[in-house]
Amino acid sequence: QVQLVESGGGLMQPGGSLRLSCAASGSIFSVNAMGWYRRAPGKERELVAAIISGGSTNYADSVKGRFTISRDNAKNTVYLQMNSLKPEDTAVYYCNAEIIGWARTIYVYWGQGTQVTVSS
């Protein structure tokens, strides 16, 4: 099976920056799309950013111009660079990956979540 391990969350003042990382490991033939979701208190989980194997990206309107998603295919790792953080960015951030197994089966995996808190 596959495991996604997230890191980089923490506490930051408004206007600061954080970089999240998510590394996939296990029985992996290839990785298709990878992305970041978040769930703020009292809200449903929402897509923050996604990136496909070819490099195309999509962002939520609320983070455009501030967040950047990237990936290192050789390391099966996706990153989320978060700049100009706002208090409303406070949430648990979850890594997501669509992974092709060696039998050409496709599965979607989720990380355990990492807390991002933006507060003065």
Name the token pair of 49.
């950013």
pLDDT reading at 101 higher than 90:
no
63 close to 80: Cβ distance less than 8 angstroms: no
Going by C-beta distance under 8 Å and a sequence separation of 6 or more, which residues neighbour residue 84?
A: 15, 17, 66
Over residues 90-95, mean pLDDT: 98
pLDDT at 104: 87
Over residues 106-114, mean pLDDT: 95
In the 8-state DSSP scheme, what is residue 25? E
Number of other CB atoms surrounding residue 69 within 10 Å: 21
> How, if at all, do strands 114-118 and 10-12 pair?
parallel
Q: Tens digit of pLDDT for each residue in 17-76? A: 999 999 999 988 889 999 999 999 999 999 999 999 888 999 999 999 999 999 998 999
pLDDT at 50: 97
Provide the mean pLDDT of the chain: 95
pLDDT at 16: 98
